[in-house]
Amino acid sequence: MSSRNNVRHHTEEISIERLIVRRGQAFVITLYFRNRGFQPGLDNIIFVAETGPLPDLAKGTRAVFSLTSSDGPSPWIASLETNGAASLEVSLCAPPMAAVGRYLLKIRVDSFQGAVTAYQLGEFILLFNPWCPADGVYLDSEPQRQEYIVNDYGFIYQGNKSWIRPCPWNYGQFEENIIDICLELLQKSLNFQVDPSTDCALRGSPVYISRVVCAMINSNDDNGVLNGNWSENYTDGVNPAEWTGSVAILKQWHATGCQPVRYGQCWVFAAVMCTVMRCLGIPTRVITNFDSGHDTDGNLIIDEYYDSTGRILENMKKDTVWNFHVWNECWMARKDLPPGYGGWQVLDATPQETSNGLYCCGPASVRAIKEGEVDLNFDTRFAFSMVNADCMSWLVYGGKEQKLHQDTAAVGNFISTKSIQSDERDDITESYKYEEGSLQERQVFLKALQKLKDGRSQGPHRADTTPFSSMPPGQDNPRSLDTPSLQPSDVMQVSLKFELLDLPNMGQDINFVLLALNMSPQFKDLKVNLSAQSLLHDGSPLTPFWQDIAFITLFPQEEKTYPCKILYSQYNQYLSTDKLIRISALGEEKSTPEKILVNKIITLTFPGIVINVLGTAFVNQPLTIQVIFSNPLSEPVEDCVLTLEGSGLFKKQQRILVGVLKPHHKASITLKTVPFKSGQRQIQANLRSNKFKDIKGYKNVYVDFGL
């Protein structure tokens, strides 16, 4: 019966051997009797469904319901489908708010002849049901359900706002054993360890489950799935940039007795969380926010400090702007909030801040973030600052700090997710905030700021909270509703801007110019300090490796370009895995004390891996795949390893040791696989070496049923 039930319940991709059903929807079982058939009105059958280590009627983790009376106290329903000579087909239905998880089904037969017999029928797994209108995770669009529950691959957007790069990912939520690992993850949570019976009883709530999973993806409080590492030293684990899917991570966690897997960064945490939530039946998508605020002191201002050469300094307050940050959105009703705040909720499994003592963030209603309702549960304040904080730049010299400028639009750009049933990028920024510079956006920001001030007195119990008096006085108050404060470029009437002359390819020199424009009727004599340094994607700066000083004289209204070149030999030793370089210019003019700061972030690009599928793909028929890749550098690279994976195409991740690649050498590898699932599939590939870690490639493959 499993296969028929599972198809109806959209779980056949997980298994056709085991019974895996969704709540709020009937499934059918057949009972076979040895001696005689079932006689309605005379015989009675009582079903018992139990979940968790301490099943309890009062808590809803034990249900007792009868075949004959449907008006009993239990919300579970059993009804007669067909009655044969020696068998009985019964339809069972769990209520749409039942706890999800592993259930044991028992049966008691009360015969009119007086005999009472009890049997254990077996196990089934109960999941959330986005197809059921009464379930809290109900989603009313079939294309959306296909994308956010059923699709097992996608793209996670990385890079920077002017160069957005899709990174292919294998979610693999229906792969073998993944459902068992997801249920094991719930059992390993601190909530279950402390109070298993209450934890199991609360598993009917998507809000509760999402918080538990969010805390379990990182290992900061528990034996969670992933260890975070932003140090650039990954020798005792895997560089986060090398992963191409969640399955290998979850299987490794399970195989090592739930030891956290090394290592993850934000996109890995979010991708693994997406796999677990889709597997459990909660619609989920992965979101990238470019220029993401990390405001540690809750005043909605992120301070950045520069020295007189224009290089960014290691932050004194640990406020940072992440070049990009990745989190999840999960779809659910929010009965715990005022009406109108259901729908997409932010969940961020990257360990940044604690929430009720644990490292998890959310669910925070996306609508509440847009409306500035930062006092609504959970962690809406932190989520709001990721997309909305103001950025303040300071010049540090001679022990003093001079304010350079305040940018109200620097944080929260090009908020992106994969489109529904397409490989395009969807920009969802407007669901998080009103248009930058609009009156509504200002009002929401001030409302949020006021709520934060009001909440300070009883606010979150955090040691590093600073009082609001640390904010700049009066006229510098962030975003007053009248005109924004004058920027140094307005005072100095000089504009500076960087422009790249060609694509910044890894292994080649970087050519760019500084454009200087005098907007005033006076002559200008400028001194500009130029510098370049590598950045990590979380905004942390590394040592500067290039500096220059430009002296530029400008007649009224004159524009000049100052050419710059950073040689490969200058930057190659200093690159981080993120391949981000920040170029800065700090300009001063002889006649004024004002200084002007501009910077640009460059992401170095690689040629991708090309994957060709030779011939048509059929289920259970050998398929030949050709992979073409090259060394983009003008020096040899060693320890090259190619990994390939793809749900439904490969039973496990393929690792091919390539060894040494000569300078600019192009190589091709051909391999065979036997696809075991039909439909739209994707191959994900990664090439790493001692000089680069994440040359990626992907190929979509349609697998036919065949004969």
Residue 441 annotated as binding site:
yes
Phi, psi of 278 (to 5 degrees): -65, -40
Rounded-to-integer distance, Cα 619 and Cα 674, Å: 7
- CA angle in degrees (0–180, nearest 5) for 409-412-414: 105
Lookup: tokens for 55: 């099943």
Helix (H) / strand (E) containing 431: helix 429-432
Q: What is the DSSP letter of 358?
A: B
**b/e map 439-450, b = 16+ CB within 10 Å:** eebbebbbebbe
Query: In this structure, which amino acid lies at residue 361?
Result: C
Q: Which residue has the tokens 């696989």?
A: 673
Rounded CA Rg of the chain: 29
Rounded-to-integer distance, Cα 171 and Cα 418, Å: 13
Lookup: tokens for 198: 């209450």
Total length of the chain: 707
Lookup: tokens for 314: 């290691």
- Which residues, at least 6 apart from 197, have a Cβ–Cβ distance to it below 8 Å? 52, 53, 54, 56, 59, 61
Residue 388 annotated as binding site:
yes
Helices assigned H by DSSP within 347-409? 366-371, 380-388
Contacts 24+ apart (CB under 8 A), 570-573: 570/545, 570/546, 571/510, 571/532, 571/534, 571/545, 571/546, 572/507, 573/545
Rounded-to-integer distance, Cα 695 and Cα 167, Å: 10
The catalytic residue positions are: 266, 325, 348
Handedness of CA 301, 302, 303, 309 (dihedral sign): negative
Residue 447 C-alpha from the chain's centroid: 28
Q: Which residue has the tokens 């989603």?
A: 139
Q: What is the DSSP letter of 502?
A: S
What does each C-alpha distance from 26 to 77, 79, 688 come to in angstroms?
A: 9, 10, 49
Residue 436 annotated as binding site:
yes
Rounded-to-integer distance, Cα 196 and Cα 205, Å: 15
Rounded-to-integer distance, Cα 140 and Cα 131, Å: 7
First-to-final CA distance of the chain: 25
Annotation: binding site: 388, 390, 436, 441
Annotation: binding site for Ca(2+): 388, 390, 436, 441
